[in-house]
Amino acid sequence: MNSQVKRVVVIGGAGAMGHVVVRDLLDNPELEVVIADYDREKADALADTLNSKLKTTRVRGDFTDITNKPVMVKGLKNAACVINSTPYYHNVNVMEAALEAGCHYVDLGGLFHVSKEQLKLHERFVEKGLTAVIGMGAAPGMTNIMAAKAQENMESVEAIDIYVGSIDNTKSSHPFLPPYSIETLIDEYTMPPMVFDGDYKEMPPLSGAVIVDFPEPVGKQEAIYTLHSEVLTLPQTYKEKGIKNCTFRLGLPLEFHEKIKFLMSLGFGSREKLNTREGDFTPRKILAAMLSSFPTPESEPDDCEVVRVDVRGMMDGKPTLCRLETTVYSVKRWHEGISCGALDTGVPPSIVAQMLVADEIISTGVLAPEVAVPAGAFFAELARRDIHMKRITQEDLSQA
């Protein structure tokens, strides 16, 4: 292996989001990629397919166990960076392994409370001269950097409000097709969301509903508060600018929204085991296993997601609103159909990992995206992948 080639390990790389992370990393010829997964057979099969398609030897599969730190540390030996694409409640475990192995770290999010625990590792990463960028998917991740860009010319920040809306017209016999990890979705629909109104405040699940008029083809969607880590880090980052309010709302397609609410009302979100004659079962694990048993959609993905960040504050002594917004479509990329959610969740951590291994991010410690990532360079990389940011001012909105 060329000594200039740097190794990035993607834990959970054989999964739907991890696959996109891996594929984007491989567009960089100076990287070697390791697909680390509990399902070694699946990881090896993906690596073999990619090596054959790309006529390369830069990707290989490996076994890992995110509950076993020594196994992870062994797998991270000689890695420049690890991207953690596993369920968010394993984030601290993987960070501990990254510290011991001596590599940078990136993940896709921690749903507020886990992110809070991750931030406690800041000094240990500083001492090792390492960087952990936490919450670096679409939301959180892209949203944080959008907020950073929107507020940069403001003397003070009043409020940051984030909205994500989507539609899915994919033709499929699958009766219930989650846009991302079902376990994360369950927690977003059952755990009390947090808002910031001068202090952090817990709200009831499914509360805060508003109708948001997203650009077509998404259109009007009901968006509700869900638990997200932007609400944790943005108020800390912009405390000196006087931020008073921060919220995150999610607007999933209406039919899916109603189905998941119904399933949660039946108790399928519970972590408590049910005792039956056949044995003890955890409802959420049963639901996840049932969903994974359905075949993948027969047709290409046909979905769309809008990510919007509104920042209100004072600029040149006057109240102002700056909105950053992007509309992400499913695409045909790498000779395969990629859903919008997989694209805008999988690409950002790949970009940031590449910045880390190229020493384009030099701050050390456990950092939120709005602190760590240079917005201009990040948006330029997104644009290269046909994800374009649109800046909308209060004047634009007044004229609309």
In this predicted structure, what is the pLDDT of residue 2?
A: 45
Instruction: Please list, in sequence order, all residues whose beta carbon lies within 8 angstroms of the beta carbon of residue 29, skipping any fewer than 6 positions away.
Output: 58
Span 347-351, average pLDDT: 98
What pLDDT is stored for residue 399 in this prediction?
A: 67
Per-residue pLDDT band for 46 (boundaries 50, 70, 90) equals very high
pLDDT of residue 1: 39
**Position 181 confidence tier, pLDDT thresholds 50, 70, 90:** confident
The residue ranges of DSSP E strands in the chain, in sequence order, are: 6-11, 31-37, 59-63, 81-84, 104-107, 131-133, 156-168, 194-196, 200-202, 210-213, 220-225, 245-251, 274-276, 279-281, 303-315, 318-329, 331-333, 336-338, 365-367, 390-393
Task: Say if CB 249 and CB 208 are below 8 A apart.
Answer: yes
Cα 319 to Cα 159, 246, 365, distances in angstroms = 11, 17, 34
Share of residues in the chain with pLDDT > 90 (%): 82
- Please check the confidence at residue 175 and state whether its pLDDT lies above 80: no
Choice among 1-10, 103-112, 158-167, 335-344 with the minimum mean pLDDT? 1-10
pLDDT of the residue at 256:
87
- Residue 355 — pLDDT band, cuts 50, 70, 90? very high
pLDDT of the residue at 400: 59
Lowest mean pLDDT among 227-241, 278-292, 386-400: 386-400
In this predicted model, what pLDDT tens digit does every residue of 320-334 receive, in sequence order? 999 999 999 999 889
Calpha distance 388→399 (Å, rounded): 22
Tokens read off for 338:
């990629």
Whether the predicted pLDDT of 255 surpasses 90: no
- pTM of the predicted protein model: 0.93
- Range ranked top by mean pLDDT from 172-176, 182-186, 267-271, 362-366: 362-366
Domain residue spans of the chain: 6-138+343-383, 142-339+387-399
What whole-number distance in Å separates Cα of residue 13 and Cα of residue 194?
A: 30
Residue 177: is its pLDDT beyond 80?
A: no
CATH among 3.10.180.10, 3.40.50.1970, 3.30.360.10, 3.40.50.10860 for 142-339+387-399: 3.30.360.10
Predicted confidence (pLDDT) per residue in 72-94, tens digit: 999 999 999 999 999 999 999 99
- What pLDDT is attached to residue 141? 98
In the predicted structure, residue 9 carries a pLDDT above the cut 80? yes
Q: What's the CATH code, domain 6-138+343-383? A: 3.40.50.720
Token look-up 């405390």 returns: 239
CA distances 89 to 209, 384, 396, Å, are 27, 32, 41
Model confidence at 178, pLDDT cuts 50, 70, 90, reads: confident
Return mean pLDDT, the chain.
94
